[in-house]
Amino acid sequence: MRRILVVGGGYAGFYAAWGLEKRLRPSEAELTVVDPRPYMTYQPFLPEVTAGSIEARHAAVSLRRHLKRTRIVAGAVTEIDHAKRRVVVRPAEGPEFDLEYDEIVVTAGAVTRKFPIPGIAEEAIGMKHVEEAVAIRDRLLTSFDRASALDPGPARRKLLTVTFVGGGFSGVEGFAELLSLATALLKSYPEISRDELSFHLVEAQGRILPEVTDKPGRWVVRSLEQRGAHVHLNTQLRSAVDGHVVLSTGEEFDSALIVWTAGNAANPVVHNHTDLPIDERGLLVVRADLRVGTEADPVPGAWGAGDDAAVPDLASPVAGARTVPNAQHAFRQGKLLARNLTAHVRGRTPKPYLHHGLGSVATLGIGKGIFQYRRIVITGLLAWLMHRGYHVLAVPSWERKVRVLAIWLTAAFFGRDIVSLASVEHPRDAFVSGGDPIE
């Protein structure tokens, strides 16, 4: 019996393990998934989680519920020693231990790329996981509550200022959705005027949304600015100490909420703690059939996919191109990896990964979106409906599809829930204080 170990339970890892369960007989393989989180995050829903359009738990897919025949190990892989066919696992509790395997599937995913900018580590929050999206939403709602009790001035202005750093898809979608939520909140906060809201999107390049062409990208900028946002292109964040934002243009302002979405970096276990081959970016060197290695020199027993793998893009006209790290590719690579590994176990030849993009679609708030497929560009309500339709079909399991649709329908009739649960971050405060105000 083959021992198959999947490192990472994200998009590619979840779909690889799910596919292997369906294709391999119990007598053929023993499956194990190692991940610190007991769920797969459906990341395209995170911007809507920040806006309260989707419940946080509906953007998470339980590994244990869907992977019936797979052993789920709650921990982080800190080292991959492929020469000895073993990994080192660090659990949340207890000492580290080794896991041995015959075949390894490395789908550890990427991590948020950070820079040594003063104040970022202390003040900013990412938007890669469900808990981060929930915290962003709760912080905005809490800021509205606190600002409504203050007189106009610097403290109130800071609470109503939001800064996103990074103009990629996740940054722009999160920024636009949070702006949509803040605008909708004004109806419930008559003490706060629209002019007091200050939303800043900071992008180091001269354009946002690199996945779309220049003209649609400029349309998104104009759309955001018409809604009152400030889009800073060709601008870098210099400092964020104590929430005081300093930009490379010389502009300065205080911001109570700073969200960092400035791209991804290679997962440390792949970049620094494995004997598997990696490229100059710290990504796994992967063949078109998703086996680790090169065409001339494959690595036996090792497979890779998703954001931590440099997968050849056979659909690109550019020689040597690699697939971009997005959900579209990770989803399809995970499914193909399951088919290829099954074929390998049964003595058949794996197939190469070839996917022609379906286009790019982004949500920009309730009723607003953009879609591009080659030269076809759709904006506004239709693009927003296409975004919702695509992702409700793509999210795993009918159970999740139904739950998400139910939330959307409820919000359509009754609006979004505007209750902040920031207090759950400190659940003992009420018990400890006994009702006294906490300093």
In the chain, the amino acid numbered 104 is I
Q: Which two tokens stand for residue 428?
A: 């003992």
HSE, CB side, 13 Å, CA atoms: give it for residue 161.
16
Whether 257 contacts 298, CB under 8 Å:
no
φ, ψ (nearest 5 deg) of residue 212: -115, 165
Q: Is 283 left (phi over 0), alpha (psi -120 to 50) or beta?
A: beta
pLDDT of residue 431: 72
pLDDT of residue 439: 54
Q: Which two tokens stand for residue 77?
A: 């892989």
pLDDT of residue 309: 94
Q: Which two tokens stand for residue 84?
A: 């000895």
* Helix, strand, coil in percent for the chain, rounding step 5: 40, 25, 35
The separation between CA 153 and the C-alpha centre of its own chain, rounded to angstroms, equals: 35
Question: pTM of whole model > 0.75?
Answer: yes
Strands across the sheet with 2-7, in order? 97-100, 86-91, 70-81, 29-35, 2-7, 103-106, 298-304, 291-293
**Between helices 169-185 and 214-226, what is the axis angle to 10°?**
20
Q: Is 359 left (phi over 0), alpha (psi -120 to 50) or beta?
A: left
Whether 208 contacts 233, CB under 8 Å:
yes
pLDDT of residue 436: 64
pLDDT of residue 437: 58
Cα first-last separation, the chain = 60
pLDDT of residue 438: 54
* Whole-number Å distance between alpha carbons of 184 and 168: 24
Q: Which two tokens stand for residue 205?
A: 């390049």
* Whole-number Å distance between alpha carbons of 254 and 344: 57
**Between helices 398-414 and 381-394, what is the axis angle to 10°?**
150
Per-residue pLDDT of the chain (439 residues; tens, 9 = 90+): 899 999 999 989 999 999 999 999 999 999 999 999 989 999 889 999 999 888 888 889 999 999 999 999 999 999 999 999 999 999 989 999 999 999 999 999 888 888 899 999 999 999 999 999 999 999 999 999 999 999 999 999 999 999 999 999 899 999 999 999 999 999 999 999 999 999 999 999 999 998 888 899 999 999 999 999 999 999 999 999 999 999 999 999 999 999 999 978 888 999 899 999 999 999 999 999 999 999 889 999 999 999 999 999 998 888 888 998 888 899 899 999 999 999 999 999 999 999 887 788 899 999 999 999 888 999 999 999 999 988 888 888 888 888 888 888 888 888 777 777 776 777 777 777 666 655 5
DSSP letters, 244-307, are EEEETTS-EEE-SEEEE---EE--HHHHHSBSS-B-TTSPEEB-TTSEEE-SSSEEEEEEE-GG
